[in-house]
Amino acid sequence: MTSTRPFRMDDLFRFNNVNLDILTETFNMPFYLQYMSRWPELFTVAEAPHNNSIMGYMLGKSEGSGELWHGHVSAVTVAPLYRRLGLARSLMEDLEGTSANVYNAYFVDLFVRASNSLAISMYEKFGYVTYRRVLGYYSGDDSEDALDMRKALPRDKHKKSMIPLDKPVLPQDLEW
């Protein structure tokens, strides 16, 4: 049976099987260390039962203020060998539960490449909706837009956080 636990510092040397994938955003060491120290309950890893290899991980945080107080998914990724087993859903549900029950957040949001139709479809199955498009969010040789997807939590009784905006925004217009 798969087990989840808090991400540990030595996991940074063990998660290449998950991170070295074109669909996964990778970050520098200080980024991971910041999440580990500030939001350890939102940085979890799933381990395989037979060999303790890392099957996937969730990297999240809490941010915002007022009705924009929310949980944010910075990364959720599953190693190719372990995809389509419901692991991403389990990791997402864990972050959503912590965001609701520990942080009393209004919603959870995430950014996904507009071209990543598989991920968008998966998030929609999890109850997320496209709140807005962020023009040129992903920089590089081929700049790409992001979709800001959201899912309301119980504190947002009227689901105001999920009402889509009428027009796209620029990265500098993001609140957080």
Q: Tens digits of per-residue pLDDT, 18-75?
A: 887 777 788 888 999 999 999 999 999 999 888 888 999 999 999 999 999 999 999 9
In this prediction, residue 71 carries a pLDDT of 98
Rounded to two decimals, the pTM is 0.92
More confident residue, 14 or 156: 156
In this prediction, residue 41 carries a pLDDT of 95
Mean pLDDT (whole number) for 109-124: 96
The Cα 128–Cα 114 span in angstroms is 14
In this structure, of 45-54, 95-104, 108-117, the range with the lowest mean pLDDT score is 45-54
Mean pLDDT (whole number) for 108-114: 97
Whether the predicted pLDDT of 77 surpasses 90: yes
In this prediction, residue 103 carries a pLDDT of 97
In this prediction, residue 104 carries a pLDDT of 98
Average pLDDT of the chain? Answer: 93
Mean pLDDT (whole number) for 103-110: 98
The Cα 157–Cα 155 span in angstroms is 6
Mean pLDDT (whole number) for 134-163: 94
Nearest to 168 by CA among 131, 121, 120, 126: 131
Whether the predicted pLDDT of 1 surpasses 70: no
In this prediction, residue 115 carries a pLDDT of 94
Mean pLDDT (whole number) for 95-116: 97
Q: What percent of the chain has pLDDT over 70?
A: 99
